[in-house]
Chains A and B, each alone.
Chain A
């Protein structure tokens, strides 16, 4: 059973389009995250939700909007895609925001903007 799953795995699209990436975890965790990994492999937090409440919102363009319909799902919608949005996006989850438990990562979604 996949613990943290993301769809799609690959996403190729044109500049200016709007796209969504979906994430689901079946670990019963309360907290979910979105990270962006750029072409140099640098990983940076974008957002985090705890029990559907936004708790971390790093400096990310307004074109990125996370949505958490329930604590098992955290989706990422991106409007007006730009070339610089090309990256691998990882979803992760952890037991609770304040616990020291490790974060479990999804397989990543490779977004390519042409």
Chain B
């Protein structure tokens, strides 16, 4: 069975602070994919990043960066110099490749990030 844990239910920071959102996953698959999605107050789900299990390189996109560590089964997300517009619920998700139900996205429970001015 696949499982994604986002232990931080809510985080509140002041604008310009850096913030890291934690994600820990469990899977028996040797090949899998990890994702982060953002859900702003307007409600839509916005794709942020996909990472496959063979690529442990960290990724940076503007103020966003991701740290994938297979040894600890973690895929953490850092926002540098946070802005009010970053306020949203962030979801980490896991997807397998072995067919059937493994094609679904298994989501963590999400972390509500509030960035205060």
Chain A residues engaging chain B, CB cutoff 8 angstroms: 31, 33, 35, 40-45, 48, 55-56, 58, 88, 90, 92, 97-98, 100-105, 107-108, 110
Query: Is B13's CB within 8 Å of the partner chain A?
Result: no
- Chain B residues within CB distance 8 Å of chain A: 33, 35, 37, 39, 43-45, 47, 50, 52, 89, 91, 95, 97, 99-101, 103-107, 109-110, 112
Residues of B contacting A40 with CB < 8 Å? 109
Does A45 contact B43, Cβ atoms closer than 8 Å?
no
Contact A42 B103, CB 8 Å, known A98-B97, A102-B35, A108-B43: no
State whether A102 and B104 are in contact (beta carbons under 8 Å apart), knowing that A40-B109, A41-B109, A42-B109 are contacts in the complex: no
Q: B101 — which chain A residues lie within 8 A by C-beta?
A: 56, 58
Residues from chain B with Cβ under 8 Å of A31 in the complex: 103
Determine which of A58, A98, A100, A108 lies in contact with B99 in the assembled complex, contact meaning CB atoms within 8 Å.
A98
Closest to B39 in A: A41
Contacts of A104 in B (CB 8 A): 47
Judging by beta carbons under 8 Å apart, are A100 and B104 in contact? no
Ranked nearest first, the 9 interchain pairs of A and B with the lowest CB-CB distance are A105-B45, A45-B104, A43-B107, A102-B47, A97-B103, A100-B33, A41-B110, A102-B50, A107-B44
What is the chain A residue whose CB lies nearest that of B31?
A100
Smallest Cβ-Cβ distance to B52: which chain A residue: A100
Q: Is the CB of A56 within 8 A of B100?
A: yes
- B50 lies within 8 A of A55 (CB): no
| Least CB distance, A114 to chain B, in whole angstroms | 21
| Distance, CA A90 to CA B50, complexed state (A) | 20
